[in-house]
Structure 1
Amino acid sequence: MEKGLFDLSDEVAVVLGGTGVLGGAMAEALARQGARVAVVGRNAERGELRV
C-alpha cells in the first residue's frame, strides 16, 4: 500500500526547540500527520504541556 504525500504514520520525528512557538507548532503538525514525535527543548514545564 502506498502512503500519501503527507502520511507520516510509522515515522518518528525529533523536534529540537519543541518548547518554543515554532518548534511546538511543527511538533503538533507532525503529530497530526501520524508521526510519533519526540520534543526536545530547554523548558521542561512547557515541554510537559506539549505532550
Structure 2
Amino acid sequence: MNSATRFSGEVAVVTGAASGIGAATARRLADEGAAVVLADVAEAAGEHVAAGIRNTR
C-alpha cells in the first residue's frame, strides 16, 4: 500500500493539533490521504497548521 493513500477515504480528528505532536500527527495523516479535522484552543496556530496542510495538497 502506498503511504500517500494509506488513509484515503478516512477522516481523522486530531486534538491539540495547533502544535507539537498534534500538529505533526495532523500533517502526517493528511500526507497519507486522510481528511483531517484539527481541534485546539489555540485558534490562530491551528489555522496556521491547517493552511500548511492545504498548501501541500
User: Normalised by the size of structure 1, how large is the TM-score?
Assistant: 0.86
Query: Which runs of at least 4 in structure 1 moved beyond 4 Å after TM superposition?
Result: none
Q: Which structure has more helix as a fraction of its residues?
A: 2
User: Normalised by the size of structure 2, how large is the TM-score?
Assistant: 0.77
Aligned to 1:14: 13
Could you list the per-position Cα deviations for residues 4-47 of structure 1 after superposition, in whole angstroms to 9, with x for gaps in the alignment? Answer: 38510000000011012110000000000000000000100101
User: What is the total number of aligned residue pairs between the two structures?
Assistant: 48
Which one has a bigger Cα radius of gyration?
Answer: 1
Structure 1: which 5+ runs fail to align? none
For 1:41 and 1:22, the matched residues in 2 are separated by: 12
Structure 2: which 5+ runs fail to align? 51-57
* Sequence identity percentage: 35
The SS at the match of 2:7 is coil
Two-structure CA RMSD over aligned residues (Å): 1.3
